[in-house]
Amino acid sequence: MAAARQGPVIPVYVLDDETPKHRRMGGASRWWLHHSLASLRAALRDRGSRLILRRGKCDEVLAALAEETGARDVHALHHYEPWWRNAERAVAKRLSLTLQHGNYLAPPGAITTGSGTPYRIYTPFWRALGQQMPPPEPQPAPKSIPAPESWPESDELEDWNLLPSGPDWAGGLRDEWTPGEEGACRRLDQFAEIAARYEGQRNLPAVEGTSRLSPHLHFGELSPATVWRATSNAGGSVSTFLGELGWRDYAQNVILQFPDYGSRAARDEFDRFPWRTGSETEADLRAWQRGCTGYPIVDAGMRQLWASGWMHNRVRMLTAGFLIKHLLIDWREGESWFWDTLVDADYASNTVNWQWSAGSGVDANLFVRIMAPLSQSEKFDAAGYIRQWVPELSQLSDEEIHDPSDASRPAAYPEKLIGHKEARERALEAHRQMKSG
């Protein structure tokens, strides 16, 4: 809207894999990006415009495009990942750059304590953010966009090879998701009907109780302000869901303070943690990634992730805790796997959640609180969820399926990598070693 008020607009998306380096988008995110851009391209055509696609470093590509077209100003949505902040600074050195806020309830960094310092703990952050809600009313999309007299050349989306081939592993993603604004609005409408029951259903993997809006929010297909205004008056336990939206804002504020949060533990003592290494550890990591740990709820979650690019929130906590505390594998290994396989892979949310699970974050679960996946599976009635994603166990009863005995476990299903009691004792001993320094 701000750009359209200034005159003709050339909508541009730059695929910049050079600036983020090892943090370039993973496979699942690239699949989503392809379809999201296709949807955006169609929406722009309906408004008399086009989408120009270019590939390369943001500052270099935009500077070259400005010279080609005579464009004077660049309007973009502000991002807070450290590499995109660097890119914004590089663009601003070459061109007139106007950054807009809109992908969070409040601009990251704007919610501060009485002394003006940023919050590190979620609860007081959420309390302060709540005092500024509701967010401003979202602006309607323009019905038309003023076009330039001539259009610059554009890459072909299909030439970017964002979709998987040899093999095509995205069948489950296609079945599950509809990237783009239209799919986002449908998903929001569906969730708004059940938002009042969020607290009672969000922990049940077999029930469609969560919003599944996270990839749409991450890719900017839907604003959190729109989600807030569509759900906040639902009543019931919708406040719990709004708190999850607040956690998304909180995570961005954390990486604004700690840009290296994805690679460095916030608590220095975890630099001494005795993570397991070696060939046996690598084999355990592969078993976790494939969903072959012998813990049905963990395996169901990891298989859901691979098939659909998403995992139920409660199960994300269980699978992360299992890798960290049962297998004693560095949380960064899990964060890296999620980065590649999640359609909603988000630097802030992903790293903050993994450090929360590891106990190494600025606001985190205590390491010594070790969840028992088998009892959690039974507690949250995950039998149907396990049957869906671990079909070799589908014939077991509700009582047996959470923790198959040697007699009931099918030959096709693996034995446990480690028993829960043994894993718990090993994890607590590793924690004692870290503390003793």
Query: In this structure, are residues 125 and 250 in contact, taking their beta carbons and an 8 Å threshold?
Result: yes
Answer yes or no: 86 catalytic.
Answer: no
Q: Indicate if 83 belongs to the active site.
A: no
Position of tokens 């299992």? Answer: 322
84 included as an active-site residue: no
CA distances from 173 to 121, 310, 311, 335 (A): 35, 9, 12, 20
Q: Which of 244, 378, 392, 400 is catalytic?
A: 244
Six-digit token string for 349: 């949310």
Contacts of 155 (CB under 8 A, 6+ apart): 53, 54, 55
Q: What is the CA radius of gyration of the chain?
A: 23
Contacts 24+ apart (CB under 8 A), 328-336: 328/274, 328/275, 328/276, 328/281, 328/426, 328/427, 328/430, 329/275, 329/276, 329/281, 329/284, 329/285, 329/288, 330/275, 331/355, 331/357, 331/358, 331/360, 332/262, 332/263, 333/285, 334/288, 335/262
Per annotation, catalytic residue among 31, 84, 331, 339:
331
Is residue 12 within a helix (H) or strand (E), and if so which, with residue range?
A: strand 12-15
Q: Which residue has the tokens 């495009």?
A: 65
The active-site residue, picked from 169, 313, 365, 378, is 313
Other beta carbons less than 10 A from residue 140's beta carbon: 7
**Per-residue tokens: 302:** 């990891």
* Cα–Cα nearest to 386, from 303, 287, 288, 293: 303
Checking DSSP bridges between strand 12-15 and strand 52-55, what pairing results, if any? Answer: parallel
- For 331-393, strand residue ranges (E) read none
Q: Note if 151 is an active site residue.
A: no
| CA–CA separation, 240 and 320 (whole Å) | 22
**Which amino acid is residue 38, in one-letter code?**
A
CA dihedral 322, 324, 325, 329 (to 10 degrees): 110
List CB contacts of 292: < 8 A, sequence separation 6 or more: 299, 414
Verify whether residue 288 is a known catalytic residue.
Answer: no
The residue assigned the tokens 């489950």 is 172
- Measured from the Cβ of residue 382, the count of other Cβ atoms closer than 10 Å reads 29
Catalytic site residue from 169, 275, 365, 400: 275
* Residues involved in catalysis: 244, 247, 275, 313, 331, 354
